[in-house]
Structure 1
Amino acid sequence: MTLPADRIGDNGQRYEVRGYIEETDVVEPIGYANDKDGADQLRDAANLWPRYDTVWVVDRQPQPPINERATSGGSDA
């Protein structure tokens, strides 16, 4: 069976779910989702699979840099 191009790969989806296989020390993509809820559901389902020792969600949208001056130091007064 051949899948159409729009069903192959991530198609720019924001979240990637990854799984770690300890036995072979491999991290592999499990799937992709457009929203956090969908990614969390996929992660929870994949956690039930015996293949993966750890499963997590990666937000692939670039995050703005942190302004270190705004987040460090300051007075506690």
Structure 2
Amino acid sequence: MEKVIFYTKENCSLCDDAESLLELFQQDYAFEIDKRDIYTNDAWLEAYHLLIPVVDIKGIQLNCEQMDFGTVEETLKTYLPREAQK
């Protein structure tokens, strides 16, 4: 199963919203969320501290300014397979 990397931090309402959006899309797309707290890794903190939440879908990164339903859906649709209809 594909992994979507989700860079986040605690006490971040934008991050909470982005995580809820990703969980919603898991109903239609086959992926696991690899949640990474940027405060546990200096490189992540330096790279993403002004951009979180950041979602990495097969190397395509969406930051806080791109974290909307349409953009996330279009990126998932382009790079990840849809779940088989149940």
Using the size of structure 1 for normalisation, the TM-score is 0.32
Q: Which has the larger radius of gyration?
A: 1
Using the size of structure 2 for normalisation, the TM-score is 0.30
Relative contact order higher in (CA < 8 Å, ≥ 6 apart): 2
